Amino acid sequence: MEGVAASAVRAVRPKSCEAELALRRRGLLASAGQSVKQQIRFVDDDPNVLDAVRRHLRKSRSEWEVGFHDSAQACLDALATPAASVIVTDWMMPGMDGMRLCRELRQREADDAGPYYVIVLTGKDDVDSLVEALDSGADDFLTKPFDRRELMARIRCGLRVLEAESALRIANRRLESMATTDGVTGLANRRLAEATLGRELERVARGLGSLTLMMLDVDHFKQVNDQHGHAAGDAVLRRVARKLESCCRSYDLAARWGGDEFILICPHVTEREAAIIAERVRAAIGDDPSLPATVSIGVAWAESGHTPSAEALLADADAMLYAAKSGGRNRFELQPDSTL
């Protein structure tokens, strides 16, 4: 029956190998010198089993980072430090058994921990047990007694799968960052700014504080491009972006709206505080002799409990920006009445 279990598991593995090869072709897997941190953790309530594995690893001079745990809970506690881990666990244990451990590990993965590759060791050798283990979240299944060489080979396979999965996570994060980051300035882009503004206005509508929106435009930016070229214009935009970031609190969002326009989303800001922040931004840019640029700023806000649309708030900020430019530039204009 063990042969049936092993063949069923092997039928699942080729897809992981294909994914690994595809990632390598695209250059998304870390090279040998840049491998992600990986751990091996053995979980068994029988100290003799753990000692036998420990002796085998010492004899084979393994350089793996290894942990040994006499309970599933001890393993979970040790996994508080994020790392890709191969978990080799017994099935039948007092307290939390191997199946419950598998389910807990998959829940943690859903919360962005891990990734984990789980190998279940058990004296059970029937297909029903194999199916239960895989359905509970196990990746591999090995019946006792087992050949330690086979276990080591399965662990190496798990490490390769973890390398591919970790690299895929990194690649996805990079893609997500690229999708929400402006390529010139490194600030949030318009897509992220619109999503953030929508969420903040929902908070305002629930009566959970006010919101200030500032729209900024670099004065006479076209002249910079015309006289010095677009590379110089991009350099100015980057300098302005860094100044904006320096004026932000940790929970504010500075974003490039488009062209030479930026917006600043500031939660929980009163009218008086909005004026202080706007002047701070204006001075950080306009009063810096090393930065050949000034900005005009339009300021609008939504009071807690009111329900303005994003379009209405943006229109108010844009109107104030136009007023600041008409009033001589290098200044800010506050919305005269709160948005209803």
- CB contact set of 136 (below 8 Å; sequence gap of 6+): 99, 100, 102, 103
- What per-residue confidence (pLDDT) applies to 271? 82
pLDDT of residue 30: 42
What mean pLDDT do residues 223-242 have?
A: 92
Catalytic residue (choose from 140, 219, 260, 316): 260
pLDDT band per the 50, 70, 90 thresholds, residue 170: confident
pLDDT (average), residues 40-52: 91
Reply yes or no on whether the pLDDT at 303 is more than 70. Answer: yes
Task: Pull the structure tokens for residue 336.
Answer: 């005269």
Average pLDDT over residues 307-334: 94
Q: What is the pLDDT of residue 87?
A: 94
CATH number among 3.30.70.270, 3.90.226.10, 1.10.760.10, 3.30.930.10, domain 190-334: 3.30.70.270
Question: Mean pLDDT, to the nearest integer, of 246-260?
Answer: 94
Q: What is the mean pLDDT of residues 105-125?
A: 88
Residue 18 has pLDDT above 60, yes or no: no
pLDDT band for position 94 (cuts 50, 70, 90)? very high
Model confidence at 299, in pLDDT bands (50, 70, 90)? Answer: very high
Q: Is the pLDDT of residue 15 over 70?
A: no
Residue ranges of E strands in 199-315:
211-218, 253-258, 261-267, 295-302
Give yes or no on whether 2-178 and 190-334 have one common fold.
no
* Domain ranges across the chain: 2-178, 190-334
- pLDDT score for 265: 96
Asked whether residue 28 carries a pLDDT value surpassing 90, the answer given is no
Q: What is the pLDDT of residue 64?
A: 85
Please state the rounded mean pLDDT for residues 304-327. 94
Please give the average per-residue pLDDT across 135-163, as a whole number: 90
Question: Following CA atoms 184, 189, 191, 196 in sequence, which dihedral angle do they give, to the nearest 10 degrees?
Answer: 170
Backbone angles phi, psi at 297, to 5 degrees: -130, 130
Task: Tell me what the mean pLDDT of segment 43-68 comes to.
Answer: 86
Strands 261-267 and 211-218, bridge-based pairing? antiparallel
| Nearest alpha carbon to residue 211 among 324, 331, 306 | 306
Q: What is the mean pLDDT of the chain?
A: 85
pTM exceeding 0.75: no
DSSP 8-state class, residue 37 = P
Residue 125 has pLDDT above 70, yes or no: yes
Confidence (pLDDT) at 337: 62
SS3 helix, strand, coil % of the chain, rounded to 5? 50, 20, 30
Q: Percent of the chain beyond pLDDT 70?
A: 87
Q: Is the pLDDT of residue 194 over 90?
A: yes
Task: Let me know if domain 2-178 sits in CATH 2.80.10.50.
Answer: no
Whether the per-residue pLDDT at 338 is higher than 50: the answer is no
pLDDT at 13: 39
**Residue 201 in tokens:** 């206005």
pLDDT for the residue 268 = 93
**Residue showing tokens 């110089």:** 232
Tell me the residue type at 303. Answer: E
The stretch 157-172 carries a mean pLDDT of 88
pLDDT band at 2 (very low <50, low <70, confident <90, very high): very low
Q: What is the DSSP letter of 305?
A: T
40 near 155, Cβ under 8 Å?
A: yes
46 belongs to the catalytic site: no
